[in-house]
């Protein structure tokens, strides 16, 4: 009998779904894995496709078909959109017999529906802001009851624009009009939520059923300008370090938030194998959940990945098959600082086609591409967030200074960068 074909004689084939800076970082970490997998990306970007090979697909159906035809061993969900498209990426992978690192559609409702997430949190006694779900503006006014500040959250997907922290009635009325009268995001309910205070923290766990491995904690910078001023963005930078919080806080987050979440997923029969993002507020009354996301953060992923050593490819494959292999990864105790270079007009708009120079002179940092395009011999801007420059060091200030120094070597017309990432507003 010669039909025993040992798995390790085959090169693992991975497809990463997504196209942004987060996926560039994931693809790079997978490519650098000791198991030396062959990495493909869908839809990918010009920069990602320098490390990974393209996938000939245009939607979920053709992606599943292509992965089956090409004997893909693992599908890694970078972004969330396909997790809730059609029957869901993970569900479709399961039907096709392809291990998937990313949760089933029903579990991804934790990100897709704020009402679903809030009910989950309340049902399982996980600390979070009190909230009331309303259908129209009158119910919303009753729920607000004249108490400000208040937080209003549209229930469905709203491209990151569905949350308003309102400090007075004028701001609340403006949001209610946009969302419940003009229906800017379409039909859907609204959460009126208690306003929490304290520093925010992003915790990422690799979840395999009812077990989890917590990655390095991170903090992102959501506002456009220095000093946390200006409009909200997708994130202008991030800092990651195990030293962001002390042991006691990590322990409290584990016992009051992470463990009950894992138990809740199990009780509710919500299959979960993939990254789970806990958006937390460290309030005076302890850490509370602001939101769940069913993926890694962007740009937190770009900050965290350089701190991770080991075999991410084997880790994700084992996880997708139901084994949490903590032994496959190691986390550095260093600080990592990620600085975003954004294009002219961001976040209201973005400008494409500005030629980028200086990329080759960056020596002390990693550069991940979020919104670029290769034209002839040059890289040009193609989107709002263009590049992430990431440096690490033993000390936070050293990592930050290095990231800023290296970022300053890169130029393009209209380039925007916060100068306080990792230094001030911290």
Binding site for ligand GLY (CB under 6 A): 220, 235, 293, 297-298, 300
Q: Which stretch binds ligand AMP (CB under 6 A): 24-32, 93-101, 188-196, 295-303?
A: 188-196
Q: Which of 31, 132, 165, 393 binds ligand AMP (CB under 6 A)?
A: 165
Residue closer to ligand AMP (CB basis): 143 or 151: 151
Min CB(19)–ligand GLY separation in Å: 14
157: contact with ligand AMP by CB under 6 A: no
Residue 188 CB partners (closer than 8 Å, separation 6+)? 154, 155, 156
201: contact with ligand AMP by CB under 6 A: no
Closest alpha carbon to 158 in 179, 131, 134, 135: 179
Min CB(158)–ligand AMP separation in Å: 8
Assess whether the previous peptide bond of 299 is cis (omega < 30° from 0): yes
Min CB(283)–ligand AMP separation in Å: 9
- How far is residue 131 from each of residues 153, 164, 166, 174, measured CA to CA in Å? 10, 14, 15, 20
Min CB(221)–ligand GLY separation in Å: 9
Closest alpha carbon to 67 in 105, 48, 94: 94
Residue closer to ligand GLY (CB basis): 92 or 219: 219
Q: CB count, 10 Å around CB of 35?
A: 16
* Contact positions with ligand AMP (CB under 6 A) in 286-305: 290-291
Residue closer to ligand AMP (CB basis): 194 or 354: 194
* 300 touches, from ligand AMP, ligand GLY, none (C-beta below 5 to 8 Å by class): ligand GLY
* Contact positions with ligand AMP (CB under 6 A) in 66-105: none
216: left (phi over 0), alpha (psi -120 to 50) or beta: beta
Closest alpha carbon to 292 in 280, 281, 282, 277: 277
The residue number with the shortest CB distance to ligand GLY is 297
Q: Which of 23, 79, 111, 193 binds ligand AMP (CB under 6 A)?
A: 193
Residue closer to ligand GLY (CB basis): 297 or 384: 297
* 233 touches, from ligand GLY, ligand AMP, none (C-beta below 5 to 8 Å by class): none
Q: CB count, 10 Å around CB of 286?
A: 15
Is the CB of residue 105 less than 8 Å from the CB of residue 83? yes
Q: Which of 46, 178, 200, 210 binds ligand AMP (CB under 6 A)?
A: 200
Taken in order 362, 365, 366, 367, the sign of the CA dihedral is: negative
Tokens of 352: 């494409």
Min CB(235)–ligand GLY separation in Å: 4
State the Cα–Cα distance between residues 288 and 128, nearest whole angstrom. Answer: 5
183: left (phi over 0), alpha (psi -120 to 50) or beta: left
279: contact with ligand AMP by CB under 6 A: yes
3-state percent breakdown (helix, strand, coil) of the chain, nearest 5: 30, 30, 40
Min CB(249)–ligand AMP separation in Å: 18
What's the residue count for the chain? 426
23: contact with ligand AMP by CB under 6 A: no
Q: Which stretch binds ligand AMP (CB under 6 A): 8-16, 39-47, 51-59, 193-201?
A: 193-201
Min CB(385)–ligand AMP separation in Å: 17
Residue closer to ligand GLY (CB basis): 204 or 335: 204
Residue closer to ligand AMP (CB basis): 70 or 232: 232
Q: How far is CA 182 from the centre of its chain?
A: 29
Q: Which stretch binds ligand AMP (CB under 6 A): 73-81, 189-197, 353-361, 386-394?
A: 189-197
393: contact with ligand AMP by CB under 6 A: no
Q: At what angle do helices 137-144 and 169-176 cross, to 10 degrees?
A: 150
State the Cα–Cα distance between residues 301 and 200, nearest whole angstrom. Answer: 16
Min CB(417)–ligand AMP separation in Å: 21
Q: 396 in helix, strand or coil?
A: helix
Residue closer to ligand GLY (CB basis): 24 or 325: 24
**Which chain residues interact with ligand AMP by CB under 6 A?**
129, 151, 163, 165, 193-196, 200, 222, 279, 290-291
């Amino acid at each position: 009998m010669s039909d025993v074909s040992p798995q390790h004689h085959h090169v693992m084939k991975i497809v990463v779904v997504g196209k942004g800076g987060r996926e560039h970082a994931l693809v790079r970490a997978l490519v650098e894995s000791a198991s030396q997998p062959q990495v493909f990306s869908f839809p990918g970007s010009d920069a990602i496709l320098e490390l990974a090979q393209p996938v000939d697909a245009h939607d979920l159906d053709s992606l599943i078909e292509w992965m089956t035809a090409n004997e893909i061993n693992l599908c890694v969900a970078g972004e969330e959109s396909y997790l809730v498209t059609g029957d869901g990426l993970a569900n479709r992978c399961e039907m096709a017999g392809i291990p998937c690192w990313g949760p089933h559609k029903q579990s991804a409702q934790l990100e897709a529906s704020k009402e679903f997430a809030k009910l989950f949190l309340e049902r399982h006694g996980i600390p979070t802001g009190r909230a009331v779900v309303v259908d129209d503006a009158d119910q919303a006014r009753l729920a607000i009851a004249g108490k400000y500040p208040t937080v209003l959250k549209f229930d469905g997907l709203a491209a990151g624009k569905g949350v308003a922290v309102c400090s007075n009635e004028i701001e609340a009325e403006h949001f209610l009009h946009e969302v419940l009268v003009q229906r800017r995001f379409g039909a859907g309910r609204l959460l009126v939520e208690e306003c929490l205070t304290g520093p925010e923290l992003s915790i990422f766990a690799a979840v395999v059923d009812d077990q989890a491995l917590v990655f390095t904690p991170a903090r992102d910078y959501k506002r456009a300008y220095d000093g946390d001023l200006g409009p909200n963005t997708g994130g202008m930078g991030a800092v990651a370090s195990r030293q962001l919080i002390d042991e006691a806080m990590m322990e409290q987050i584990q016992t009051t938030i992470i463990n009950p979440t894992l138990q809740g997923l199990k009780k509710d029969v919500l299959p979960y194998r993939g990254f789970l993002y806990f958006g937390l507020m460290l309030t005076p009354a302890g850490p509370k959940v602001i939101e769940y996301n069913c993926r890694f953060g962007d740009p937190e992923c770009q900050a965290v990945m350089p701190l991770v050593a080991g075999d991410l490819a084997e880790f994700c494959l084992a996880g997708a098959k139901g084994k949490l292999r903590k032994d496959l990864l190691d986390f550095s105790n260093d600080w990592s600082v990620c600085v975003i270079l954004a294009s002219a007009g961001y976040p209201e708009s973005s400008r494409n086609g500005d030629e980028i120079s200086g990329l080759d002179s960056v020596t002390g940092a990693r550069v991940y591409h979020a919104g670029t395009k290769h034209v002839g011999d040059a890289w040009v801007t193609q989107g709002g967030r263009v590049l992430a420059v990431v440096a690490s060091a033993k000390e936070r200030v050293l990592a930050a200074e290095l990231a800023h120094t290296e970022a300053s070597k890169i130029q393009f017309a209209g380039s925007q960068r916060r100068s306080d990432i990792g230094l001030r507003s911290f």
